[in-house]
Amino acid sequence: MKTPFNWRRTFLGLAAASVIGQCSAFSFAGAEEAVFIPAPTLDETTQAHSETAVFAGGCFWGVQGVFQHVKGVKNAVSGYAGGAANTAQYERVSEGNTGHAEAVEVTFDPAQVSYGSLLQIYFSVAHNPTELNRQGPDRGTQYRSALFPKSTEQQRVAQAYITQLDAAHSFNKPIVTKLESYNGFYPAEEEHQDFLTEHPTYPYIVINDLPKVSQLKQLYPDRYQEKPVLVKAGM
């Protein structure tokens, strides 16, 4: 099978960059436009004080960066989901044949932000759920739109929300997001954590990801927090 071309790795090899990057640095098409969508009519009910959910929607830098600015989120870790533990490394996943997707594990307080509200931000701001095996400039199954429910309740809420959004024609194309079995989440290498915050002038971040944070603030001001919750702050 032909390995998907990886602009991020190629660019950084040519430029001898000091940071390891996996997202396409040669993207000048601009960020995906956010779409305001209604909240889910069916949401999770729980008495838990902490819960985790896994979201995949293209390059994990931007997805992580968005969720780090959501009130009620305690932590958002970039990593890999969908494949085996022994292939959960940057170089292997970037080949596009491990079964992994770049993903973000979000730990949140359901009393402050529900799973349904996180899904609303995921579908609306964090990525474009109508793009199949790609996201913006990035191509390959590792950039697919996928959810990895960690409970039957998350599965039920996510499936109902996709059905709701498609029925309402919230997007100009059908949602291609897949609900996949959760079989583990593997944190990415340290250099990929908090990448948006640490490298705000990196071309890919400026073009593709900072606009997402601005769109979060604009579309969902009650959900937005100015100070991000950083992974390395708790290390």
Instruction: Spell out, as residue ranges, where the chain has pLDDT lower than 50.
Output: 1-21, 25-29
**Strand, helix or coil at 235?**
coil
* Contact status, residue 6 vs residue 94, Cβ threshold 8 Å: yes
Place of tokens 């759920």: 129
Q: Please give the model's pTM, rounded to 2 decimal places.
A: 0.90
Token pair 């199949």 is at which residue?
132
DSSP string, 73-138: EEEEEEEEESS-GGG-SHHHHTTT-SS-EEEEEEEE-TTTS-HHHHHHHIIIII--TT-SSEETTE
How many CB atoms within 10 Å of residue 148? 24
59 is catalytic: yes
Q: Which pLDDT score is estimated for 22? A: 57
For 211, the token pair is 């606009």
CA distance linking residue 90 with residue 191, whole number of Å: 10
- The rounded distance, in Å, linking the Cα atoms of 34 and 218 is 10
User: Which residue among the candidates 23, 25, 56, 59 is catalytic per the annotation?
Assistant: 59
Q: How far is CA 58 from CA 64, 128, 186, 195, in A?
A: 11, 9, 16, 14
pLDDT at 32: 73
Give the pairing type, strands 101-108 and 134-135.
unpaired
- Whole-number Å distance between alpha carbons of 211 and 13: 26
95 vs 5: CA distance, rounded Å: 8
Tokens 């498609």 locate to: 166
Domains in the chain, please, with CATH? 48-234 (3.30.1060.10)
Asked if 115 and 148 count as a contact pair (C-beta separation under 8 A), the reply is: no
The strand pairing partners of 224, in sequence order, are 70
Average pLDDT, the chain: 90
Check residue 33 and give its pLDDT: 82
